[in-house]
Amino acid sequence: MKTWKAAQLDRLKPLVFLVGLFPLGRWVWLGFNNGLSANPAEFLTRSSGTWALVLLLVTLALSPVRRLLAQPALVRWRRMLGLFSFFYVALHTLAWAWWDRSGNWLSMWQDIVQRPLIAIGLIATVILLLLTLTSTHGWQKRLGRGWGRLHQTVFLAAALSVLHFYLIRIGKNDVVEVYVYGLVLVGLLILRRWPVLNQPAK
């Protein structure tokens, strides 16, 4: 297979952007077609959380994929996918703050200290916020080698996100979906440790 050039992949970036906008577009479409259920607040809170996790896993899958396909330039899509993941994390957090806690700071704080599942979600959010803020070239240069180390914490954020999801679902014993996301994450971690894939890309 020919090696894709950076310029070619850059040209396809609008396509990646459309993929990132898909969940938002879907909500708008559902909103105009009476598809957000009798409880839109609950629907959008859950949906934004799910899409944040899906896009986070897609972002994490990009490195193994680019090694499997020997297409190092695919890395050029990674930041955009990561930023979209955080976009949905931010919406998920806002949905919680407004619809669940009525925009009340004290109530939010109480939820965080009283419920490990909320605190865990918040830690993941803070990590991803930090990675979003330092995603620019400027910060990449400024942090040097530390940038890579900092951005390794994305795996911690992903693990916490799956745990957050698990803690929501376990109360109703409804965890099959959580296991699917968990297995994908474990699979991605194993792939990264796989020696053949771990060699520098040609």
Partner 1 sequence: MFKSRSQPIQSSEITDESVWRARRRLFLQAPGALALAAGLPGLAQAVPVGQALSFNPSQRWKLDETPTSEADVTTYNNFYEFGTGKEDPSRQSGQFKTEPWTVQVDGLVHKPLTLDMDQILKLAPLEERIYRLRCVEAWSMVVPWVGYSLSALLKQASPMGSARFVRFETAAEPETMPGLRSRILDWPYVEALRLDEAMHPLTLLATGLYGKSLPVQNGAPVRLIVPWKYGFKSAKSLVRITLTDTMPESSWMKVAPHEYGFYANVNPDVPHPRWSQATERVIGSGFFATKKATLPFNGYAEDVASLYANMDLRRYY
Q: Which residues bind partner 1 (CB under 8 A)?
A: 37-42, 98-100, 102-103, 107, 110-111, 114-115, 117, 167-168, 171-174
Q: How far is the CB of 121 from partner 1 (least distance, A)?
A: 12
104 or 198: whose CB is closer to partner 1? Answer: 104
What single letter denotes the amino acid at residue 181? Y
CA distance 23 to 31: 12
Query: Which residue from 180, 156, 161 is spatially nearest to 117, judged by alpha carbons?
Result: 161
Region label for 87, one of left (φ > 0), alpha (ψ between -120 and 50) or beta (otherwise): alpha
CA dist., res. 112 & res. 120, Å (int)? 9
Beta strands, E only, the chain: none
Q: Of 115, 127, 122, 6, which Cα lies nearest the Cα of 56?
A: 127
Handedness of CA 153, 83, 122, 190 (dihedral sign): negative
- Residue nearer to partner 1 on the CB measure, 42 or 143: 42
- How many CA atoms does the CB half-sphere of 93 hold within 13 Å? 19
